[in-house]
Amino acid sequence: MSVQLKKFVAARRRRLRDAMARQSLDALVVVDPADVSYLTGFGGEDSVLVLTPRRQRLVTDARFPEQIKQECPTLPFYLRQGAMSEAVATVLAPMRAKTRQPWRIGIEADHVSVSHYRAYRRAIGKELHHIKPLVAPLRQCKDDYELRQLRKAVKLAQEGMQALHRWAQLGMTERQLAGRLEYEMASRGSTEAAFPTIAAVGPHAAQAHAIPARHRWRAHQPILFDWGATVNGYRSDLTRCYVAGTIRPTFAEAYQWVLEAQLAAINKVTPGVPLCEVDDAARKVLRRSPWPLYGHGTGHGIGLQVHEAPAVSARSQQPCQEGMVITIEPGIYVPGRFGIRIEDDVLVTANGAKVLSTLGKGLASVTLDAAMRADNDRPA
């Protein structure tokens, strides 16, 4: 762990301990992997962080000691032999023994199943309580370290797409194009795709989360890409549509409506503005159009997870806050014809929205090189 990251991790734990104090918690059992990573810098799985006002200890297993030493060398850890719940109880026991007062121990309800909660309760005792999320609200506003990683992830995603443009050929399948895009990002430093890449041709793009298949990209046919890169655990999420050849007038008209809707939502992003109003700004544009409204939210938070709080939806009364990074991604989906979505990663600043992605999205940027050759015309 770099000295700089160590400083940010320590600051995150201090903020969490302040939140614990407000909830009168003597300890917190952190089970969500992204929350554990946020609070420690550890990127492994199947590990739980036990946090008290003065101490922290990672409960993990024999797969991860070397990784812990590399990523967070000063973090104390305990290697479990059996069930995680029993190991967490073992770690808590000496901490609780130092006081005669009953403890109040929290575990976030959003991240444990009923059966897992019961197992923890049996092992730890009645001092364990379900609580509302404490870590997720802290993660919504990114610190400087996180913003650097997110910017790098956006950059790698964009460079991967630009490289794909130079390689892609008409006649290739969605699977080939999606796989190549992930390869191009990986070759530039992405540790993994931020999520399974979507490449959807023509009518297939009417499925908002289409799974790449054997559909082949043909001349004058639109294709939708939804993709992202990962840098030090932080993920980007972009969507663009392209056509190799002539853009049909109906598609062009619908595309302009989506672009106007996206720009309206981005322009609404300002500290203090409720996220439901950002969502509504996009929908107001599309309500004037002849096209159907999209059924998903207008966006979501992004960071260590590709979908995290806050939600940009009609139900979200939460205000925009400086430091949030959200996606803005309205769309139009017409079954049997086409799907259009335009998505950017947007930072909330004191002065409004800062779009982190720079890929073109005007209608002129949709048209790719009309000289792209079909597979059988490719040079040997």
pLDDT tier at 89 (50, 70, 90 boundaries)?
very high
Q: Report how far Cα 309 is from the mean position of its chain's Cα atoms.
A: 9
- What is the three-class DSSP state of 268? helix
Confidence class for position 102, pLDDT limits 50, 70, 90 = confident
Report yes or no: 329 and 341 within 8 Å, Cβ to Cβ.
Answer: yes
Of 49, 50, 39, 58, residue with least CA distance to 1: 39
The alpha carbon of 59 is separated from its chain's Cα centroid by a whole number of angstroms, namely 25
What does the pLDDT average to over 349-372? 87
pLDDT per position as a tens digit, 112-162: 999 999 999 999 999 999 999 999 999 999 999 999 999 999 999 999 999
Q: State the amino acid at position 158 in one-letter form.
A: Q
- C-alpha angle with apex 35: 34 to 36, nearest 5 degrees? 90
Strand, coil or helix: 209: coil
- The CATH classification of domain 144-377, taken from the options 3.90.230.10, 3.90.950.10, 1.10.3720.10, 3.40.50.300: 3.90.230.10
Straight-line distance from the first to the last Cα atom of the chain, in angstroms, rounded to the nearest whole number: 47
Supply the angle between the helices 33-40 and 3-22 in degrees, to the nearest 10: 120
Percent of the chain whose predicted confidence (pLDDT) is above 70: 96
Query: Is the separation of the CB atoms in 92 and 105 below 8 Å?
Result: yes
Neighbours of 4 (CB within 10 A): 11
- How do residues 237-296 score in pLDDT, each as one tens digit? 999 999 999 999 999 999 999 999 999 999 999 999 999 999 999 999 999 999 999 999
Q: Which amino acid is at 190?
A: S
Contact 310, 326 (CB under 8 A): yes
Q: How far apart are CA 303 and CA 299, in angstroms?
A: 13
Model confidence at 96, pLDDT cuts 50, 70, 90, reads confident
Domain 3-139, CATH:
3.40.350.10
- Where exactly does CATH 3.40.350.10 map onto the chain? 3-139
Largest CA-CA distance found in the chain, in angstroms, rounded: 80
Order of all β-strands in the sheet with 222-227: 198-201, 222-227, 238-244, 367-368
Ranges of CATH 3.90.230.10 domains, the chain? 144-377
pLDDT of residue 371 exceeding 50, the answer is: no
* Angle (deg, nearest 10), helices 275-287 and 249-268: 150
Contact 47, 59 (CB under 8 A): yes
Does 220 have pLDDT greater than 70? yes
Q: Cα–Cα distances in Å, from 87 out to 48, 58, 72, 120?
A: 10, 10, 20, 10
- Strand ranges inside the chain, DSSP E: 27-30, 48-51, 56-60, 77-79, 105-108, 128-131, 198-201, 222-227, 230-231, 234-235, 238-244, 299-301, 308-312, 325-328, 331-334, 338-341, 344-349, 352-355, 367-368
